[in-house]
A = this chain, B = another copy of it.
Amino acid sequence: MAIRILITGGTFDKEYDELHGTLYFKDTHLPEMLTLGRCRLEVQIRTVMMVDSLDMTGEDRDLVLEQCRKSPENQIVVTHGTDTMVETAQLLGRSIRDKTIVLTGAMVPYAFGSSDGLFNLGSALSFAQTLPPGTYIAMNGRCFRWDNVRKNRELGIFETMESQG
C-alpha cells in the first residue's frame, strides 16, 4: 500500500539564492525530509511543478487534478503553497471521491531551520493513511475537510469556516 506524493512547490521547497538575496525554487526537499523522518513508508514521489501558489493558474490546478486522477495509489499527499491551498483543495474535493488526498505545506521554507514542514509532512502522511476517501488539508497539526477550511492570513493559520478570525 504505497502513498503517492505530488509536489507542486510552495514555501515548503523555497531556497535562498545567496547571489541575489531572493527566494527561489531548485529541487524539492521531500526525499531529504523523508530520510530525516526515517520514513519507511513506500512512497512514489512526483514533482508536478515547482511554483509559488500565488502564481498557480487554473491550468496548473487542472494538472494537479489530472495527476491525482491518474494515480494508481489511493492515498495521496500534495505539497502546496499555503496561499491558494484551499482553492486547489476545493477543485480536488469536488472532483475526486474515491481517494484520500491530503494537501499540506509550510509557513517557512524547510531549508531555513525553523520550518514547520517536517511536522506537517509527518502529519499529512498519517492522515493520508487513516482518513476515509475525500480531500483534506493538514496544517497546524489539524485536519480540515476541503469544504470547511480557510487560511487566516492575519494569523498565518488554517481554520474552519465557523472560526472567527
Contact = CB atoms under 8 A, between A and B. Distances in A.
Interface of A: 11, 16, 18-19, 21, 23, 33-34, 36-41, 52, 83, 107-109, 111-116, 118-127, 129-131, 138-143, 153-154, 156-157, 159
A141 B23 contact: no
Contacts of A83: 21
Nearest to A52: B21
12 contacts: A11-B21, A18-B156, A21-B23, A37-B141, A38-B107, A38-B141, A112-B112, A112-B113, A113-B113, A119-B119, A123-B123, A126-B127
Contacts of A112: 16, 111-113
A26 B11 CA distance: 20
Contacts of A23: 21, 23
Contact of A126 (B16, B138, B157): B138
A38 B126 contact: no
A114 B114 contact: no
Closest 5 CB pairs of A and B: A37-B119, A122-B122, A113-B113, A126-B126, A39-B141
Contacts of A33: 119
A13 to B, nearest CB: 13
A126 B143 contact: yes
Contacts of A40: 140-142, 157, 159
